Structure 1
Amino acid sequence: MKLNSSAFAHNAMIPATYTCEGHDLSPPLEWSTPPNGTKSLVLVVEDPDAPDPAAPQRIWVHWLLYNLPPRACSLAQGVAEKDLPAGTLCGRNDWQRTAYGGPCPPIGCHRYFHKLYALDIRLPDLHHPTRAELQQEMKGHVIAEAELIGRYQKQH
């Protein structure tokens, strides 16, 4: 499985449009067909460099989606919750929101990991789980994964 964005290449800079300095839109994402046996997909967008890449203290979660249908192969730029593929559920990010929250690093150039997981089950409604709660439910059910890393440093 491969995960790509038409907005930025792997390990390249994320355009400001997708950050707190721009329109804070989710980037367009596309992926290849998941393996046979995939019942659902999970998308996690996180920053392991918070708050300072020179001394990271935590992983900051920007977006959590789960139960994306296996036939889905993309998410449009700035996709609204109501426009997500049918059956997709949202987790809670570290701003305590279910919507995408773009890069907004306080200091330095951070890495933003966009991770797509193919699961052999469809998860129950976890009622806006945190990353830890979602990972617990995924344990033992990941059959493939893909990763796209973008980088961002505030311009102002």
Structure 2
Amino acid sequence: MTLAWDAEHLHSPETLSLTSPDFADGEPIPHVHAGVRLGGEELSPALAWSTAPSETAELLLVIEDPDAPMATPYIHGLALIEPSLTGLSQGALSAEAPGPGVRLLRSSSGRGWIGMAPPKAHGPHRYVFQLFALAEPLTITTKGGAEEAQPRKVLAAAGPVLARGRIDGLYQRS
């Protein structure tokens, strides 16, 4: 499965340090961030990152599950973020009330953070949080622009990338 991270047009120096106070890289993500149908609160994790390069037009946040039983990774969240920001609080990717400076785009099945809900007995899933500092504003000419475009069209239109960062979390359905 190909993550946004692996797309050639999204390569750049990995100079953004992306972290979360809610989980460490390669460690489990707390259940509070899981989908409501699994008893979670569908609360997007808090994120923090280093300052983007001064030429950054906007930041693109992509959250993917490459372990989903699908042809392409399941996109749990897709957002454009003001380049002056260096973090998001818990719940900032909420479809009902996104955080300041956040423009929510379509994910694989909705808008905003889609809480983790892997299939039963499917083992641990990786949730890959990827942040890209875009040199130019994302432009999509289809009706509705970036907000209404399919996630893969958004990813194809993104770039060039000045810097990027990544953190991976794990979640397994009990």
TM-score range normalised by the length of the shorter chain:
0.7 to 0.9
Q: Give me the TM-score of the superposition, normalised by structure 1.
A: 0.87
Give the C-alpha shift of residue 126 in structure 1.
1.7
Give the C-alpha shift of residue 28 in structure 1.
0.5
Report the residue type matching 2:86 in the other structure.
Answer: C
Q: Matched residues in 2 for 1:78 and 1:129: separation?
A: 23
**Gap change, CA 1:127 and 1:57, over 3 Å in 2:** closer
Report the residue type matching 2:33 in the other structure.
Answer: Y
| Structure 2 match to 1:136 | 156
1:28 pairs with one of 38, 43, 46: 46
| Structure 1 match to 2:129 | 114
Q: Matched residues in 1 for 2:87 and 2:147: separation?
A: 23
Q: Report 1:47-62 matches (<5 A).
A: 47-51=65-69, 57-62=71-76
Q: Matched residues in 1 for 2:98 and 2:126: separation?
A: 27
Q: Matched residues in 2 for 1:129 and 1:85: separation?
A: 22
| Structure 1 match to 2:78 | 64
RMSD: 1.5
8 Å contact kept, 1:92–1:98: yes
Give the C-alpha shift of residue 142 in structure 1.
0.9
Q: Report 1:77-156 matches (<5 A).
A: 77-79=90-92, 80-81=94-95, 82-86=97-101, 88-95=102-109, 97-106=110-119, 107-124=122-139, 125-139=145-159, 141-155=160-174
Q: Matched residues in 2 for 1:73 and 1:93: separation?
A: 22
Aligned length: 147
- Structure 1 stretches (4+) deviating beyond 3 angstroms? 80-83
Which structure is higher in helix share? 2
Identity of aligned pairs, percent?
33
| Structure 1 match to 2:64 | 46
Report the residue type matching 1:111 in the other structure.
Answer: R
Give yes or no for the alignment of 1:11 onto 2:22. no
Q: Decide which moves more: 126-135 or 143-152.
A: 126-135
Q: Matched residues in 2 for 1:136 and 1:2: separation?
A: 24
Structure 1 runs not aligned, ≥5 long: none
Q: Decide which moves more: 115-124 or 10-19.
A: 115-124
Q: Matched residues in 1 for 2:113 and 2:98: separation?
A: 13
Q: Give me the TM-score of the superposition, normalised by structure 2.
A: 0.79
